[in-house]
Chain A
Amino acid sequence: MTDTRYIGSHRARPDAADKVTGKVRYIHDISKPGMLYGKIKRSEHAHARIVSIDTTRAERLPGVCAVITGYNTPPVAVGFLRDNSALKRDKVRHFRDEVAAVAAIDPDIAAAAIDLIEVEYEPLPCVFDPLEALEPGAPLVHEQDARGTSVTSNLVPMECGHDSGDVEAARRAAAHIVEGDYSVPLIQQSCLGTAGCIAEFDGNDNLTITAKTQIPFLAQRDFNRALGEMGLRGRNSRVIVPALGGAFGSGLDTHCYEFIAILLAHRTGRPVKILVDREEEFASLSPRQSARVKIAQGCDAQGRLLFRDIEVVQDNGAYASWGATFPTVMLLPVTSLYRVPNVRFTSCIVYTNNTYCQAMRGYGNPEVTWAIDSNLDDLADAAGIDALEMRRINCNEPGEVTPMQMKISTCGLRECLDKTAEHLDWSEKRGAGSGPGQTRTGVGMASLIHVGGSGRIYRSDASGLTVKLDDFGNVNVFYGGVEMGQGLHAVLTMAVADSFGVLPEHVHINQTDTATCPWDVGTHASRGAFMSCNAAILAAEKVRARIFSACEELFPAEIDRALTKLRRDDPELGVPDFDFAAASRADNFELRDSEVFLRDGPDVPWARVPLGRILRAMHFRRDGEMLTESVFYDPPSDLPDWKKGIGNMSACYTYGVQGVEVEVDEDTGEVAIKKLVSALDVGKVLNPPALRGQVYGGIAQGIGYALYEEVKTEQGRILNPNFTDYKLPTACEMDFPIVLEFIETDEPVGPFGAKGAGEPGLVPTAPAIANAIQDAIGVRIRDLPITPEKILAALAKRG
Chain B
Amino acid sequence: MSATQSEYLRPKDLRAALEHKAATPDARFIAGGTDLLVHARRPGATLPQSLISLRAVAELNEVTVVGATLRIGAAAPLTEVARHPVIAERLPALVASIDVLGSRQIRNVATLGGNLCNASPAADTAPPLLVHDARVELQHVGGRREVPLVEFFRGPGETAIEANEVMTAVLLELPPPNAEAAFERKGRVRMDLAIAIVAGLFELDGSVVRRARVAAGAVAPLPLRLTEVEERLTGSELDDDVIAEARRLTTEAISPISDLRSSADYRRHLTGVFVERMLHGVAGSSVTGRPGA
Taking Cβ atoms with an 8 Å cutoff, the residues of A that contact B are 108, 279, 667-670, 708, 712, 719-720, 724-725, 727-730, 732-733, 787-789, 792
Contact = CB atoms under 8 A, between A and B. Distances in A.
Contacts of A725: 260-261
Interface of B: 2, 4, 38, 43, 186, 188-193, 260-263, 265-266, 269-270, 273, 277, 293
A727 B293 CA distance: 15
B4 A108 contact: yes
B263 A789 contact: yes
Q: Sorted from nearest, which 10 A-B pairs have the closest CB atoms? A: A732-B190, A725-B260, A667-B273, A727-B188, A789-B266, A727-B189, A720-B260, A730-B191, A108-B2, A733-B189
Contacts of B190: 730, 732-733
A294 to B, nearest CB: 27
B179 to A, nearest CB: 25
Contacts of B4: 108
Nearest to B261: A725
A789 B263 CA distance: 8
Contacts of B261: 725
Contacts of B265: 789
A668 B189 contact: no
Contact of B191 (A668, A712, A720, A732): A732
A464 to B, nearest CB: 43
B49 to A, nearest CB: 16
Contacts of B188: 708, 727, 787
B250 to A, nearest CB: 14
| Main DSSP-derived SS at the B contact region | loop
Given A732-B191, A789-B266, A792-B266, A668 B260 contact: no
A725 B42 CA distance: 13
A709 to B, nearest CB: 10
Nearest to A732: B190
Nearest to B187: A727
A764 B231 CA distance: 51
Contacts of A108: 2, 4
A732 B193 CA distance: 14
A778 B278 CA distance: 28
Given A108-B2, A732-B190, A279 B273 contact: no
Contacts of A667: 273, 277
A788 B43 CA distance: 32
A789 B258 CA distance: 12
Given A108-B2, A108-B4, A668 B193 contact: no
A733 to B, nearest CB: 6
B270 A668 contact: yes
Contacts of B38: 724
Given A108-B4, A789-B266, A792-B269, A708 B260 contact: no
Contacts of B262: 789
B201 to A, nearest CB: 23
Contacts of B269: 792
15 contacts: A108-B4, A667-B277, A668-B270, A670-B186, A708-B189, A724-B38, A724-B193, A725-B260, A727-B192, A728-B189, A730-B190, A733-B189, A787-B188, A789-B265, A792-B266
Contact of B186 (A668, A724, A727): A668
A443 to B, nearest CB: 22
Contacts of A792: 266, 269
Contacts of B43: 279
Contacts of A788: 266
Nearest to B189: A727
Given A724-B38, A727-B189, A789-B263, 5 more contacts: A708-B188, A727-B192, A730-B191, A788-B266, A789-B265
Contact of A668 (B2, B192, B263, B273): B273
Nearest to B269: A792
Nearest to A108: B2
Contacts of B263: 789
B260 A730 contact: no
Given A108-B4, A667-B273, A720-B260, A730 B266 contact: no
A675 B257 CA distance: 35
A392 to B, nearest CB: 35
A668 B189 CA distance: 14
A730 B273 contact: no
A733 B262 CA distance: 19
Nearest to B293: A670
A342 B82 CA distance: 63
Contacts of A720: 260
Contact of A729 (B189, B260, B270, B293): B189
- Which of B2, B38, B191, B265 has the most chain A CB atoms inside 10 A of its CB? B191
A48 B136 CA distance: 53
Given A279-B43, A792-B269, A732 B189 contact: yes
Nearest to A789: B266
A444 B266 CA distance: 27
Contacts of A279: 43
A787 B195 CA distance: 13
B228 to A, nearest CB: 22
Contacts of B186: 668, 670
Contacts of B270: 668
Nearest to A279: B43
Contacts of B277: 667
B226 to A, nearest CB: 19
A416 to B, nearest CB: 29
- Residue of A669, A720, A727, A729 contacting most chain B CB atoms (<10 Å): A727
Nearest to A720: B260
A77 to B, nearest CB: 30
A696 to B, nearest CB: 17
B181 to A, nearest CB: 21
A729 B191 CA distance: 9
Contacts of A729: 189
A729 B189 CA distance: 7
B59 to A, nearest CB: 33
B176 to A, nearest CB: 29
B91 to A, nearest CB: 23
A509 to B, nearest CB: 33
A15 to B, nearest CB: 24
A787 B262 CA distance: 10
A788 B266 CA distance: 9
A728 B189 CA distance: 8
Contacts of A719: 260
B260 to A, nearest CB: 5
Contacts of A668: 186, 270, 273
B235 to A, nearest CB: 27
Nearest to B1: A108
A108 B1 CA distance: 8
B270 to A, nearest CB: 6
A730 B193 contact: no
Contacts of A728: 189
Contacts of A669: 266
A712 B270 CA distance: 23
A699 to B, nearest CB: 15
A670 B261 CA distance: 14
A279 B261 CA distance: 18
Contacts of B266: 669, 788-789, 792
A720 B262 CA distance: 13
A788 B265 CA distance: 12
Contact of A712 (B189, B192, B260, B273): B260
A789 B189 CA distance: 14
Contacts of B2: 108
Nearest to A788: B266
Nearest to B272: A667
Nearest to A672: B293
A792 B38 CA distance: 34
A727 B43 CA distance: 20
Contacts of B260: 712, 719-720, 725
B284 to A, nearest CB: 11
A728 B190 CA distance: 10
B139 to A, nearest CB: 32
Nearest to B192: A727
